[in-house]
Amino acid sequence: MCPEMHTHKHMPRTKTLRVSLESYAALCRFASERGTSLIATVDQLVEEAECDRFWEAMDAYFAALQGDPRVLADYQAESEALATAVADGLDEWPWEED
């Protein structure tokens, strides 16, 4: 569990974090390349890592699904049933062209 965050009147909620000099240099490089502050860069990297973890979990789920033919058949049947719900007669999204 992370310790309580400190807040300052004119600053977003932040917490001091010690990193190695190598990591600090890499963060500075990333921030420069992205044109963002160090805080924004760390926030973006954390968000990207969380997204990566989500997709890794999805990949593992689908790999496990492939290993159980009965569960895979149930999943495919449910997916097909949901696919027909999409054919509801509504127009395509406005940005999609025919």
- Between the two ends of the chain, the Cα-to-Cα distance in Å is 52
In a domain? residue 50? yes
Q: Could you read off the pLDDT of 1-15 as tens digits, one per residue?
A: 444 454 555 656 888
List the beta strands (DSSP E) in the chain: 6-8, 11-14
| Structural domain of 57 | 45-86
pLDDT at 32 over 60: yes
Which string of DSSP letters, residue by residue, matches 14-30?
E------HHHHHHHHHH
In a domain? residue 17? no
Q: Could you read off the pLDDT of 40-97 as tens digits, one per residue?
A: 999 999 999 999 999 999 999 889 888 899 989 998 999 888 877 766 666 666 655 6
In a domain? residue 52? yes
In a domain? residue 71? yes
Q: pTM value?
A: 0.62
In a domain? residue 70? yes
Report the domain count for the chain.
Answer: 1
pLDDT at 20 over 60: yes
Q: So what's the pLDDT on residue 11?
A: 59
In a domain? residue 20? no
